[in-house]
Structure 1
Amino acid sequence: MPTERQLFLLQLLVNDYIVTAEPVGSRSIAKRDDVHFSPATIRNDLADLEEMGYLEKTHLSSGRVPSEKGYRFYVDHLLSPAILTKKELSDIRGVYREKFLETDEMIRATAEILSEFTNYTAIMLGPELLDMKLKHIQLIKLTDVQGVLIIVTDTGHVENRVVTLPAGIRAEDIEKVVNILNDKLNMVPLYQLQSRLNTEIRSVLRDNVSYYERVMDLLTEGLSIDDPEQIFYSGKSNMLAQPEFQDINKVIQLLNVLEGKDLVRELLDMPPGGLHIRIGRENKLNGIEDCSLITTTYTVGGEHLGTVAVIGPKRMAYPRVVTLIDLLSKILTSALSDRRVEKR
């Protein structure tokens, strides 16, 4: 176990390396005003920390950098969350004072704030469509053969689906269809819509609407859910500015991970609640061995809705990211809760 002095030096070294991306040597540490140890003492302690596996020596420099074990110890025992400035807090809260038309806009705005304030890549998992309930549905005729089906969920999510209308369908039939759907399917979970369509909705439409078979085809297609999970990104290009990703092959590998939705879901598969940090090879996917991932969740009424995540280099500014991701998840939870109350 490192001594108190060694822990102090480890914390200094990690903090310096996060800022400079340059290996840290004993001489640079000794020059600091808050360090009162001789260069020889510091050199010996850094050598001991390297021997214990907390630091690594680079081939191109006499300085040292944190190992994954060093980062893990720093995160678990030495990390102090950063304090945001009054202006930063004001700017963040100002975003949520905007009137968002859709829940998606609020989630996307959160991703944009995270990427802007961290200079890393932000990933947001939105509420799964299959878990949402139908709040309202509308069918609007655009042309004689084309319309748009508008689906509004209990979370405020809006889906617009272009559909083919039966030739010759009358406006009163469209109105009947909409009234039947809103009466029979209000607050029905989206995953149950197809089964309800094929049972009670089919029989009601048959008795009340012309062209009911073609209307059924329209609804079956329009109410299908091909991709139930929403993923929002912001700041993918931020990783290109990091010294660790000057190698184009590393960039390609990372972008391949981010572009694959199944891989992203696996990447963000963390237990609900709390804040989780995975460093380097703790992430099991090829292509992100040089990255760290910080995630937490956001909720409404105790119900888990989605995930907030930031991915960056192992040399991530952990104190700042931890503060921001914790703050934004709480603000988003509060904003979504208020929004749900307003819509009741």
Structure 2
Amino acid sequence: MLTDRQRMILNAIVDDYIRSAEPVGSRSISKRGDVQYSPATIRNEMSDLEELGFLEQPHTSAGRVPSNKGYRYYVDHLLHYNDLSLHELSTLRTFFSERMNQTEKIIQHVASILSGLTNYTSIVLGPQILHMSLKHIQLVPLNEETAVAIIVTNTGHVENKLFSIPVGMPIGELQKFVNILNAKLKDIPFVSVKTKLYEEIHAELIQHIGEYEEFMLIVNHLLAEKNIEDRVFLSGATNILTQPEFKDVDKVKTLLDLLDQSGSVAKLFDAGKEQHSGIQVRIGSENQNKAIHQCSFITASYSVEGHTLGTIGILGPTRMEYGRVISLLDYLSKDLAILLSKHYG
């Protein structure tokens, strides 16, 4: 248990280090208006905080920097949340006043806004397949041999699928098949489409559609789950290089390689799956992936009517502006949920 004086000094060190990215000495802390202790007293307390594991002393400096344990204590016990600035509020309000019909465009814009406002890397997971259902299929013949199926989901996602028309199959017959699918599969979750198709409308398709087996091969291609997968939207990947602790590109090559792989980026969110709502803060080695052990990862889920649709994340150095980032994520995740609820009815 830290004393009030140790808490004040730790808070001052973290604040100064976040702002300057330079090791903090006792003299600079003593010059702060909110600290009334001598440099000698502060130096003794800093030494004790180092022994307790809250501070570290770089070999090249007499100053101290927060350890992961120090950041964790700061986030859990000392953090003051920031009010959003007029610029931040204006940017977010402008975004939420724009009309965007596709969920992907909304999510992409969210990622871009967050990376721009924070100068960190933003990662947004789009709505998951569990919550995606079929809204409409439209058929566009290109010629006698090829057609495009335009698949629209309830999230606003649009998928264009090119496929070959079986030899001798009339376009009218193909359109009849698509009409039956639209009538019977609308609002059915993609994870349940095949069950619905084979168990409930199988007999009707056989009755009304000739060359049934060939049609089923086409629909299996069009509605393959692997093509309606989670979307990972990333913005500001190179922002990490603007942070002083990541100036050496060789040291962050593993991190940059990670950010280049959507599948690996999505797995960064796995550690927080057991907690479906609220802000989650993972600092340094609390992250499972070693590539981001020098980083902090803050996430917030967004939900519609109790269903968690996706997650917003900010990746930055452990020397992160925690209060400001948490306030931004809290504000944006709540308003994003309201905006997406319109798409989900």
TM-score, normalization by structure 1 = 0.93
Report SS of the residue matched to 2:225. Answer: coil
- How far apart are 1:169 and its partner, in Å? 3.9
Within the candidate set 270, 285, 291, 2:295 is matched to 291
| Mapping 1:248-259, distance limit 5 Å | 248-259=249-260
Does residue 1:230 correspond to 2:231, yes or no?
yes
- How far apart are 1:59 and its partner, in Å? 0.9
Aligned to 1:162: 162
Deviations 1:224-252 (A, max 9, x none): 02153221111111111112222333322
How far apart, CA to CA, are the structure 1 residues paired with 2:178 and 2:89?
44
- How far apart are 1:268 and its partner, in Å? 0.4
Which moves more between the two structures, 157-166 or 121-130? 157-166
- How far apart are 1:207 and its partner, in Å? 3.3
Deviations 1:59-91 (A, max 9, x none): 111111001110000000011111111232011
Report SS of the residue matched to 2:291. Answer: coil
Aligned to 1:40: 40
Report SS of the residue matched to 1:287. Answer: helix
Which moves more between the two structures, 75-84 or 196-205? 196-205
Report SS of the residue matched to 2:138. Answer: strand
| Mapping 1:40-189, distance limit 5 Å | 40-189=40-189
Does residue 1:300 correspond to 2:304, yes or no?
yes
Deviations 1:271-302 (A, max 9, x none): 20111111111112121110111111100011
| Mapping 1:263-302, distance limit 5 Å | 263-269=264-270, 270=272, 271-302=275-306
CA RMSD of aligned residues (A): 1.9
> Which amino acid letter does the alignment assign opposite residue 290 of structure 1?
Q
Does residue 1:339 correspond to 2:343, yes or no?
yes
> Which amino acid letter does the alignment assign opposite residue 149 of structure 2?
L
| Mapping 1:311-322, distance limit 5 Å | 311-322=315-326
> Which amino acid letter does the alignment assign opposite residue 325 of structure 2?
V
8 Å contact 1:132–1:153 — kept in the other structure?
A: yes
8 Å contact 1:115–1:121 — kept in the other structure?
A: yes
Give the percent of matched residue pairs that are identical in Structure 1 and Structure 2: 48
- How far apart are 1:199 and its partner, in Å? 4.7
> Which amino acid letter does the alignment assign opposite residue 110 of structure 2?
T
Evaluate the alpha carbon distance shift between residue 141 and residue 201 of structure 1 in structure 2; reply closer, same or farther with a 3 A threshold.
farther
Report SS of the residue matched to 1:91. Answer: helix
8 Å contact 2:301–2:308 — kept in the other structure?
A: yes
- How far apart are 1:10 and its partner, in Å? 0.9
Evaluate the alpha carbon distance shift between residue 117 and residue 267 of structure 1 in structure 2; reply closer, same or farther with a 3 A threshold.
same
> Which amino acid letter does the alignment assign opposite residue 14 of structure 1?
V
- How far apart are 1:32 and its partner, in Å? 2.4
Aligned to 1:204: 204
- How far apart are 1:166 and its partner, in Å? 2.6
How far apart, CA to CA, are the structure 2 residues paired with 1:98 and 1:217?
41
How far apart, CA to CA, are the structure 2 residues paired with 1:339 and 1:188?
16
Unmatched runs of 5 consecutive residues or more in structure 2: none
- How far apart are 1:261 and its partner, in Å? 4.1
How far apart, CA to CA, are the structure 1 residues paired with 2:130 and 2:260?
22
> Which amino acid letter does the alignment assign opposite residue 267 of structure 1?
L
Report SS of the residue matched to 1:207. Answer: helix
How far apart, CA to CA, are the structure 1 residues paired with 2:35 and 2:145?
77
Report SS of the residue matched to 1:226. Answer: helix
8 Å contact 1:169–1:210 — kept in the other structure?
A: no
Report SS of the residue matched to 2:302. Answer: strand
8 Å contact 1:53–1:67 — kept in the other structure?
A: yes
How far apart, CA to CA, are the structure 2 residues paired with 1:251 and 1:310?
17
How far apart, CA to CA, are the structure 2 residues paired with 1:171 and 1:76?
63
8 Å contact 1:254–1:288 — kept in the other structure?
A: yes
> Which amino acid letter does the alignment assign opposite residue 241 of structure 2?
L
Aligned to 2:26: 26
- How far apart are 1:210 and its partner, in Å? 4.7
- How far apart are 1:196 and its partner, in Å? 3.5
Unmatched runs of 5 consecutive residues or more in structure 1: none
Deviations 1:313-341 (A, max 9, x none): 11111111101111110010011113333
- How far apart are 1:211 and its partner, in Å? 4.4
Which moves more between the two structures, 3-12 or 321-330? 3-12
